[in-house]
Structure 1
Amino acid sequence: MAEVSTSSTVANPKKPGKYFPAGWEISEAMPGLLLIVLPILVVAEILWCWEISNKTTYFVDIFIAAVLALIVANVFKIPDRLKAGPSFAQKWFLRLGIIIYGLKFSYSYLAVIGWQGLVVVLVAIAAAVFVSMGLGKIFGLEDKTASLIGVGTAICGIAATLATAPGIKAKEEQIGVAIGVILLWGTLALVAYPAIAVAVHMPTAVYGTWCGAAIHDLPQIVAASLQGGGNDALKAALMVKMIRMAFIIVLVLGMCMYYAINENKESNSQSNLSIALKSVPAFVIGFFIVVLINTFFKIPAAIAGPLATYPASVTPFTLASLLLSAAITGICLKVTHQTIRVAGFKSILVGLIAFVVQSGLVLWLSYMFFG
Structure 2
Amino acid sequence: MTTIPAAKCPEPRQPDLAPASAPLFRGLLAIAPGLALTACIGAAAFGLRLLPGMSVVSPMILAMLIGIALHNLVGTPARARPGIKFSVRRVLRFAIILLGLQLSAAQLIAVGGRGLGIIAASLLATFAVTSWIGRRLGVDRQLTQLIAAGSSICGASAVIATNAVTDAPDEDVAYAVACVTVFGSVAMFVYPLLPGLLALDPQSYGLWAGASIHEIAQVVAAGFQDGPQAGEFATIAKLARVAMLAPMVIALGAWAARSARRNGHDRQAARPPLPWFVLGFVALVGVNSLIAVPPQAKAWIVVVTTFLLTVALAAMGLETDLRKLAAKGIRPALLGALAFVFIASFSLALIKLTG
Q: TM-score range by the shorter chain?
A: 0.7 to 0.9
Question: Partner of 1:31 in structure 2?
Answer: 33
> 2:125 & 2:354 partners in 1: Cα distance?
18
- CA displacement at 1:175 relative to structure 2: 1.4
In structure 2, the CA distance between the partners of 1:288 and 1:201, relative to structure 1 (3 Å rule), is: closer
> 1:271 & 1:86 partners in 2: Cα distance?
27
Q: TM-score, normalised by structure 2?
A: 0.85
> 2:109 & 2:43 partners in 1: Cα distance?
40
Question: Partner of 2:189 in structure 1?
Answer: 191
Is the 2:224–2:232 Cα contact (8 Å) retained in structure 1?
no
SS in 1 for 2:111: coil
1:74 aligned to 2:72?
Answer: yes
> 1:250 & 1:319 partners in 2: Cα distance?
24
Q: Which moved more, 1:148-157 or 1:167-176?
A: 167-176
Question: Partner of 1:11 in structure 2?
Answer: none
Which residue of 227, 230, 251 maps to 1:230?
227
Q: Between Structure 1 and Structure 2, whose CA radius of gyration is higher?
A: 2
SS in 1 for 2:320: coil
Question: Partner of 1:292 in structure 2?
Answer: 286
- CA displacement at 1:169 relative to structure 2: 2.2
> 2:244 & 2:306 partners in 1: Cα distance?
20
1:369 aligned to 2:354?
Answer: yes
1:345 aligned to 2:330?
Answer: yes
- CA displacement at 1:113 relative to structure 2: 3.2
Is the 1:221–1:237 Cα contact (8 Å) retained in structure 2?
yes
Paired residues, number: 333
Is the 1:57–1:219 Cα contact (8 Å) retained in structure 2?
no
> 1:289 & 1:150 partners in 2: Cα distance?
25
Q: How does 1:55-70 map to 2 (within 5 A)?
A: 57-70=55-68
In structure 2, the CA distance between the partners of 1:24 and 1:144, relative to structure 1 (3 Å rule), is: farther
Q: How does 1:1-371 map to 2 (within 5 A)?
A: 22-34=24-36, 36-50=37-51, 57-197=55-195, 199-200=197-198, 202-227=200-225, 229-267=226-264, 269-270=266-267, 275-276=271-272, 279-301=273-295, 303-308=297-302, 318-370=303-355
CA deviations 1:68-93 (Å, max 9, x no partner) are: 22333333322323333322211221
Q: Which amino acid aligns with 2:38?
A: V
> 1:127 & 1:71 partners in 2: Cα distance?
36
In structure 2, the CA distance between the partners of 1:116 and 1:284, relative to structure 1 (3 Å rule), is: closer
Q: Which amino acid aligns with 1:239?
A: I
> 2:198 & 2:286 partners in 1: Cα distance?
41
> 2:76 & 2:305 partners in 1: Cα distance?
26
SS in 2 for 1:220: helix
Is the 1:181–1:351 Cα contact (8 Å) retained in structure 2?
yes
In structure 2, the CA distance between the partners of 1:128 and 1:23, relative to structure 1 (3 Å rule), is: farther
Is the 2:246–2:279 Cα contact (8 Å) retained in structure 1?
no
> 1:270 & 1:87 partners in 2: Cα distance?
27
- CA displacement at 1:270 relative to structure 2: 4.4
Question: Partner of 2:9 in structure 1?
Answer: none
- CA displacement at 1:185 relative to structure 2: 0.9
In structure 2, the CA distance between the partners of 1:201 and 1:67, relative to structure 1 (3 Å rule), is: farther
> 2:223 & 2:252 partners in 1: Cα distance?
30
> 2:229 & 2:208 partners in 1: Cα distance?
13
SS in 2 for 1:66: helix
Point out where structure 1 has 5 or more consecutive residues left out of the alignment.
Answer: 1-20, 309-317
Is the 1:57–1:220 Cα contact (8 Å) retained in structure 2?
no
Q: Which amino acid aligns with 1:231?
A: P
CA deviations 1:226-246 (Å, max 9, x no partner) are: 22x222221331232122122
In structure 2, the CA distance between the partners of 1:203 and 1:304, relative to structure 1 (3 Å rule), is: closer
In structure 2, the CA distance between the partners of 1:252 and 1:91, relative to structure 1 (3 Å rule), is: same
- CA displacement at 1:303 relative to structure 2: 4.6
- CA displacement at 1:298 relative to structure 2: 2.7
> 2:293 & 2:310 partners in 1: Cα distance?
24
In structure 2, the CA distance between the partners of 1:41 and 1:207, relative to structure 1 (3 Å rule), is: same
Q: CA RMSD in A?
A: 2.5
SS in 2 for 1:275: coil
CA deviations 1:26-70 (Å, max 9, x no partner) are: 322322333x3233212111123446xx8x741122222122223
SS in 1 for 2:292: coil
- CA displacement at 1:141 relative to structure 2: 1.3
SS in 2 for 1:280: coil
Is the 1:25–1:88 Cα contact (8 Å) retained in structure 2?
no
Question: Partner of 2:17 in structure 1?
Answer: none
> 1:140 & 1:299 partners in 2: Cα distance?
47
Percent identity, please: 25
> 1:121 & 1:181 partners in 2: Cα distance?
21
